[in-house]
């Protein structure tokens, strides 16, 4: 399982989350439809939050839980502001 963040990492929720957009993991499979932000998630925009869990959902897709919402919602990489972190992902593995 490859993902950008680990449990304990602090990330910032994007301020431009859109309930009509689809968000994905950085290493998403092409058959992963991603997920939508819901209106309750928008209140965390701009907030620094901590990753509390990295897990696989019922569709075997990697998702995160965060502390700010008590682990209620599923979050993905594109819902967080990018940082200068270098990712060790071999792009050939995605194709």
Q: Residue 92 domain-assigned?
A: no
How confident is the model over 16-62, as pLDDT tens digits? 999 999 998 887 666 667 889 999 999 999 999 999 999 998 888 88
For position 30, what pLDDT does the model report? 61
Measured torsion, CA atoms of residues 58, 63, 64, 70, in degrees rounded to the nearest 10: -40
pLDDT of residue 13 exceeding 80, the answer is yes
Q: Which domain holds residue 28?
A: 10-82
Q: Residue 20 domain-assigned?
A: yes
The residues, ordered by sequence, that sit 6+ positions from 88 with a Cβ below 8 Å of its Cβ are none
Average pLDDT, integer, range 71-93? 71
Number of domains observed in the structure of the chain: 1
Q: Residue 17 domain-assigned?
A: yes
Q: Residue 75 domain-assigned?
A: yes
């Amino acid at each position: 399982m490859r993902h950008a963040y680990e449990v304990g990492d602090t990330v910032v929720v994007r301020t431009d989350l859109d309930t009509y957009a689809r968000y994905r993991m950085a290493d998403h499979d092409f058959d992963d439809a991603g997920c939508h932000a819901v209106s309750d998630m928008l209140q965390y925009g701009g907030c620094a939050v901590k990753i509390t869990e990295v897990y696989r959902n019922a569709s075997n897709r990697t998702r995160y839980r965060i502390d700010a919402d008590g682990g209620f919602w599923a979050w993905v990489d594109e819902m967080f502001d990018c940082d200068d972190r270098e990712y060790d992902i071999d792009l050939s593995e995605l194709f």
